[in-house]
């Protein structure tokens, strides 16, 4: 441990990383600690972060602006793929690759001996961080205090913080484990650890990105999104970059109780874990994109894409963003998005996203073919098609009856 003179720490200012600085000082022979906060859109969580980091022993705080990189390089490609992990829209998993990449860049530039993170030994994030570090800095030492120290619980973490005069924004009663970025907010721990307990969505302070559907307005909100080759380029007719569109959608979605899910998911390490996720803007964006694909992508491609979306989501969830397979799947997805250009209108109402119309210059939908009125479609053609399509079924039945000649 004495050989480690300089450590780059993934720093959020939350409970875990707040106590890690003094713990590293005590257990690694007083190394220099450079705290690195990745700005992925967590807003007010970055306030007073530098003062706190320096007071607890860091030599400096570096804030890396990663919002657009996360959105453009990870979120939008995943959204185009339709990637969902067991209905979870991958909010935490989206941020980890770009944060860990930034940690590597800073550690190499600063001549650090190690990179440290505050992920627990039970969770998925330790894998996401460390696989990215192995990709960008394969020779770098990784320090994971949760796999080393004697602290066993979040209560004991608070005890350590109090003993070392580390300021905290939480109490033992509000000690949910949370992760926030532009895309989402997760809630775990406390009463949520028992799946029998209903989340108290209406309790002040529980939901942070919006309101519960029961508190949403009685009047719906209409939102229009425009896409170019699967990428969102405008909201309500105003052209904006993708991160700003997501920010706007968070407001609309939050006000209308959109994107709140309560799931028990299968973690990478093998256990089941219960969490409540808020993803207001992302849920709208995914739905609008799916609606546009319905009219722009052919049946075979759409069905194959839906199957591969599960594999894509698994790669993201399991920390393999920087992998040959993910890159190959993204290349496939980009080809499927060649004609996913157009506009989608949705109605937001008390937690629901209701389709309100979609148009595209590349639509495969033909009203002339689908209409119940007179059209150019020759219904007699169906007879020959069904005879050929059903021929194997007919032959099998004749064999079973002993009538096959």
Task: Report, as residue numbers or ranges, the catalytic residues.
Answer: 16, 96, 125, 177
Beta bridge pairs of residue 133: none
What strand order describes the sheet that includes 60-65? 60-65, 32-39, 6-10, 114-116, 141-143
Contact criterion met (CB below 8 Å) for 41 and 47: no
CB 92 within 8 A of CB 184: yes
Q: Where are the beta strands (DSSP E) in 132-188?
A: 141-143, 177-180, 185-188
Neighbours of 384 (CB within 10 A): 9
Phi, psi for residue 215 in degrees, rounded to 5: -100, 0
Among 5, 102, 87, 79, smallest CA distance to 292 is for: 79
Tokens of 220: 């719906």
Residue written as token pair 């069904």: 386
Strand order in the sheet with 185-188: 177-180, 185-188, 272-278, 260-266
Among 23, 30, 33, 29, residue whose Cα is nearest residue 53: 33
Q: How far apart are CA 232 and CA 251, in angstroms?
A: 17
Q: What number of residues does the chain have?
A: 405
Strand partners, 387: none
């Amino acid at each position: 441990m004495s050989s480690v003179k300089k450590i780059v720490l993934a720093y959020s200012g939350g409970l875990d990383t707040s106590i890690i600085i003094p713990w590293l000082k005590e257990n690694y022979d007083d190394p220099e600690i450079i705290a690195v906060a990745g700005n992925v859109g967590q807003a007010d969580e970055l306030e007073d972060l530098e003062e706190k980091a320096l007071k607890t022993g860091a030599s400096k705080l570096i804030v890396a602006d990663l919002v657009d990189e996360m959105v453009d390089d990870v979120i939008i490609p995943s959204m185009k793929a339709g990637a969902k992990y067991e209905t979870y829209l991958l909010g935490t998993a989206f941020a980890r690759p770009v944060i860990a990449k930034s940690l590597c860049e800073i550690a190499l530039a600063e001549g650090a001996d190690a990179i440290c993170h505050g992920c627990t030994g039970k969770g998925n994030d330790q894998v996401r961080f460390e696989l990215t570090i192995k990709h960008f800095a394969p020779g770098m030492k990784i320090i994971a205090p949760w796999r080393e120290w004697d602290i066993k619980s979040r209560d004991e973490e608070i005890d350590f913080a109090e003993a070392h005069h580390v300021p905290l924004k939480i109490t033992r009663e509000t000690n949910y484990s949370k992760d926030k970025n532009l895309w989402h907010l997760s809630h775990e721990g406390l009463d949520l650890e028992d799946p029998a307990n209903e989340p108290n969505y209406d309790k002040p302070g529980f939901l942070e990105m919006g309101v519960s559907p029961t508190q949403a307005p009685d009047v719906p909100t209409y939102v229009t999104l425009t896409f170019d080759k699967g990428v969102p380029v405008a909201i309500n007719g105003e052209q904006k970059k993708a991160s700003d569109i997501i920010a706007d959608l968070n407001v609309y979605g939050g006000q209308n109780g959109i994107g709140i899910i309560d799931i028990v998911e299968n973690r990478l390490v093998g256990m089941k874990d219960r969490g409540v996720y808020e993803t207001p803007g992302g849920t709208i964006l995914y739905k609008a994109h799916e609606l546009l694909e319905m009219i722009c992508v052919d049946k075979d491609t759409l069905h194959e894409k839906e199957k591969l979306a599960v594999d894509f989501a698994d790669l993201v969830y399991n920390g393999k963003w920087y992998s040959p397979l993910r890159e190959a799947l993204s290349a496939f997805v980009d080809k499927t998005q060649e004609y996913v250009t157009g506009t989608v209108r949705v109605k937001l109402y008390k937690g629901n996203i209701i389709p309100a119309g979609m148009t595209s210059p590349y639509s495969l939908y033909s009203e002339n073919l689908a209409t119940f009125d007179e059209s150019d479609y020759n219904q007699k053609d169906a007879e020959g098609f069904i005879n050929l399509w059903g021929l194997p079924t007919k032959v099998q039945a004749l064999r079973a009856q002993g009538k096959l000649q």
